[in-house]
Structure 1
Amino acid sequence: MASGAGSPCGACKFLRRKCLPECVFAPHFGAEEGPVPFAAIHRVFGASNVSKLLRRVSPAERCAAVVAIGYEAQARIRDPVYGCVAHVFALQQEIASLEAQVMQGRAQLGLAMADLRPPENPSRKEASVLPRSCSGEHSASPQSSLDCTHLNDTRDPLFMEEQRPRKRAHHGDDLGELHDLALRMMMD
């Protein structure tokens, strides 16, 4: 007997047969585990099919094959139509959702970093943007200087667009494309 001490392996115990020394199931379904782990595999695939499969697999890879077969058998019992494919699909959807969140976070981080960069040469930019009454000449009325305060506001999208150098998205650079899209959305 392959399991030692005269007791059959879990698979042979489930099948109610004598466990031979060359039993392909003995290394993977011990007597102490009992027949329960093998029951799902036998129910879904059949002992004969699993035996043939394990004999074709190299001995070094049999343990991984038994784990995969057992996982698939449990998944087939839970979901007879899709098996583990339903779980794989759910994980792929979760990965896609998380990747979208990461890209959105990177785009937001890129915008935040761009807002923290100092302007290239603010005195030259302001002089070219401001109208005559706000370009440093003091006007007589205090109201005219108040009318121009919005032009110096760094949160104004037009002012931000002129100060921030525009990066070109490289082919395949999703972060650059998202950054450009976010800038266009802010301008609207």
Structure 2
Amino acid sequence: MASTGSPCGACKFLRRKCAVDCIFAPYFNSEEGPSKFAAIHKVFGASNVSKLLHNVPIDDRCDAVVTISYEAQARIKDPVFGCVANIFALQQQVAYLQSQLMQVKGQLAQSLMNSNNCYNPQWINNNNMASSSGQMTSSSFPANYPNYINLKSNSSPQSSSMESVDHYSDGHGIMNMQDIQSLDQFVYQPYNTSS
């Protein structure tokens, strides 16, 4: 209950006297509370929300009220799907951005391989380029060639060159993916072979 003696927003909306131990008082003030509580009451019902909050630990009740309020507002805006429509849209956006990130990482890995090939072309004619299984091995490269791609034969098929680019980019004079805002900002930086 508010210190001025006015009822909390929930009790004000329900037009009832606000008790000292009102479960809604800490979360719905008398000014903004009625409008926020109206959606919650319409979708879930005051008694159901009260029972729910009594079963939630006190430390987590504020988060529960925020979540319930969000779900109620989403259900009013979209009575069929509610907040699931927002979650689905966000999941699609994440999947799209992840595919773009993988594409950019692939382009970066290809650029790194191409740029290193033009600096050190003698390894291309190396007779040890392929092992008996047709796979590239770490012995196929000169000793001073930077190991950007994990060529261990015991690596799992799930590991990709994208992960190895992330792993080997630190400390090798290569920009991290977080540093590249867009392809327009990517400036070619040659690999320093003196180190």
Please give the range of the TM-score, normalised by the shorter of the 2 chains: 0.5 to 0.7
Aligned residue in 2 for 1:151: none
Distance 1:167 1:54, change over 3 A: closer
Aligned residue in 2 for 1:14: 13
Q: Distance in 1 between matches of 2:40 and 2:33?
A: 14
User: Does residue 75 of structure 1 match 2:61?
Assistant: no
Q: Distance in 2 between matches of 1:174 and 1:32?
A: 56
**CA offsets 1:134-157 (integer angstroms, 9 cap, x no match):** xxxxxxxxxxxxxxxxxxxxxxxx
Q: Distance in 1 between matches of 2:105 and 2:12?
A: 57
Letter in 2 for 1:83: G
Aligned residue in 1 for 2:44: 45
Distance 1:170 1:115, change over 3 A: farther
User: Does residue 5 of structure 1 match 2:8?
Assistant: no
Q: Distance in 2 between matches of 1:167 and 1:55?
A: 54
Aligned residue in 1 for 2:61: 62
Distance 1:70 1:120, change over 3 A: same
The structural deviation recorded for 1:167 is: 7.6
Distance 1:34 1:54, change over 3 A: closer
What's the TM-score, normalizing by structure 2? 0.64
The structural deviation recorded for 1:120 is: 4.3
The structural deviation recorded for 1:72 is: 0.3
What's the TM-score, normalizing by structure 1? 0.66
In 1, are the aligned partners of 2:150 and 2:161 still within 8 Å (CA)? no
Letter in 1 for 2:73: Q
**CA offsets 1:4-47 (integer angstroms, 9 cap, x no match):** 21211000000000000010000000113241010000000000
* Number of residue equivalences: 139
* Aligned counterpart in structure 2 of residue 171 of structure 1, from 152, 157, 173: 157
Q: Distance in 2 between matches of 1:34 and 1:114?
A: 60
Letter in 2 for 1:121: Q
Rg larger in 1 or in 2? 1
Aligned residue in 2 for 1:104: 103
Letter in 2 for 1:96: A
In 2, are the aligned partners of 1:103 and 1:175 still within 8 Å (CA)? no
Aligned-residue CA RMSD (Å): 2.7
In 1, are the aligned partners of 2:8 and 2:33 still within 8 Å (CA)? yes
Distance 1:103 1:116, change over 3 A: same
Runs of 4+ in 1 over 4 A off after TM superposition: 164-170
In 2, are the aligned partners of 1:41 and 1:73 still within 8 Å (CA)? yes
Identity fraction in percent: 53
Written as runs of structure 1 = structure 2, the 5 A alignment for 1:84-103 is 84-103=83-102
